Structure 1
Amino acid sequence: MDSAMDAWNVLKQNYAQPDDTRVCNLQFTLGNVTQGTQSVDTYFVELKGIWEEFRNYRPLPSCQYENCNPECFKKYTDQYKKDMVFRFLNGLNDSFSAVRSQIILMDPIPTLDKVYSLMLREEAQRNILFQTQPMLELSAMLAAANTKKKKTGRT
């Protein structure tokens, strides 16, 4: 190779080829990934990684003409971003259905980062409630036991 341009062209030829098999697999994975037992954070990172790899194979289109209407591309990217929000929401566990419904009713639909942040806060709030729940149940059981003891006359 005589120049950096030659090296670049060889690399481009070897590694920048479309790989329809990988694109097909990524689309399958993207359609099937769900939160499951993962935290919202872990699920989001997994989904984001798939999207990033997918964009390496299928970057967003750009207009190559002089008299392009930028509004056309903006509509396309806005819809693409909205679809990402919907995909994220649809993969969340059913326990998030109420929050998911509230977000879908928002106008305009929040950005993916905003939705992710809302879900993290929702999950954190649930974790706090989950941690205090056993203490509340124990307190309720002790109170019931004390009431029962008082009724039977034992102390």
Structure 2
Amino acid sequence: MSTTQNNSGNKTLDPIQDPISPYYLHPCDSQLLLVPIPFNGTGFNDWKILVTITLSSKNKLAFINAQIPQPNSSDPNFKAWERINSTIICWFMKVLDPQIARSVLYFLTAQEIWQNLEERFGITSGTQIYSLAQQIFDIDQGSDCLCTYFTKIKMLWDEFDTSNPLPTCNCTNCTCGINSKLLQMREEQRLILFLMKLNPAYKTIRGNILMQQPLPSISYAYRLIMQEEKHSALVSPINPTTDEVIGLVAVNKQKFYNTNTNIASQSQNITYRPPHYGTNNINTRKSNLFCNYCKK
């Protein structure tokens, strides 16, 4: 393992060999896949979050956000930087649609590729905000379970927050607390919207939540409604639907008809047979009469 010596005489690891250095690459990193699904031009915000999480876990996020700019060719870390830059570009090419990857192929640094993608796909338009707001307004629980319904609306909220974030106060030593007030107001509005779109079966628990002062958080309300859903599934009887009842009646009628038909057909095939029926029985009876007459 190579080492270097600083001005104080202490030996330090080469950045390429130091695991805590951003210039360090593990042998397995060459096969790294930043995200499981390639970016095809839609859902950039979700893709961006996944990429930044992966790069941060590999201690390489500083190479795309300009925290580690390209050094001069005479810098001792130039070769290491060049190696990391090429590696990140290769990671990008693996998780981009072939057409998008071709459009950024001639950029020399990973930072340039990242900036270009943000400029092309990360800028939010009024049309996107309108579309997200319309989807949030139109969503309701319907036939979905509570977990599925909450997941759908939560995904839309997250995407809307990324596209249209709340303003923040940047005053030094701010005492007005405007940031927390805005967050609280948005939380209450979304709680009411979430409760409005629930099925009528939850009207009782919905009323209990709305009567609380102050209003609970969305997470707490979700937990209460989930408990109510589980409780209702345990205590409610299993009531057959109208179609199931009609089908059951039809089956029973068919069984009753088939049973009576079989009994009637069997009755027609049964013929009464009196005692001594047939020729042999008649002859036997006559012989018995003669024998009795002779005995007299």
Q: TM-score, with normalisation over the residues of structure 2?
A: 0.42
Q: Is residue 2:112 matched to residue 1:6?
A: yes
1:1-155 correspondence to structure 2 within 5 Å: 1-66=107-172, 68-69=174-175, 71-131=177-237
Query: Counterpart of 2:76?
Result: none
SS of 1:35 mapped into structure 2: coil
Q: Give every structure 1 segment of 4 or more consecutive aligned residues whose post-TM-superposition deviation is greater than 6 Å.
A: none
CA contact (8 A) 2:191 2:218 kept: yes
- Could you tell which deviates more after superposition, 63-72 or 16-25? 63-72
Q: Which has the higher helix share?
A: 1
1:132 Cα deviation after fit: 6.2
**How far apart in 2 are the matches of 1:5 and 1:68?**
34
**How far apart in 1 are the matches of 2:162 and 2:148?**
21
1:48 Cα deviation after fit: 0.6
**How far apart in 2 are the matches of 1:9 and 1:68?**
33
SS of 1:68 mapped into structure 2: coil
- Aligned in 2, Cα 1:40/1:62: closer, same or farther, shift over 3 Å? same
**How far apart in 1 are the matches of 2:173 and 2:120?**
34
**How far apart in 2 are the matches of 1:11 and 1:32?**
31
**How far apart in 1 are the matches of 2:236 and 2:229?**
10
Q: TM-score, with normalisation over the residues of structure 1?
A: 0.77
Write out per-residue CA displacement over residues 85-136 of structure 1, whole angstroms, 9 at most, x where no aligned residue. Answer: 11111110112112111101111211111100111110111111224678xx
Unaligned runs of 5+ in 2: 1-106, 241-296
Write out per-residue CA displacement over residues 44-95 of structure 1, whole angstroms, 9 at most, x where no aligned residue. Answer: 1111111111112112322234353451111110111111111111110112
Q: Which has the higher contact order (CA 8 A, sep 6+)?
A: 1
How many residues end up aligned between the 2 structures? 134
SS of 1:87 mapped into structure 2: helix
CA contact (8 A) 2:169 2:178 kept: no
Query: Counterpart of 2:61?
Result: none
Which residue identity does 2:187 align to in structure 1? K
1:30 Cα deviation after fit: 0.6
**How far apart in 2 are the matches of 1:113 and 1:10?**
37
**How far apart in 2 are the matches of 1:5 and 1:29?**
34
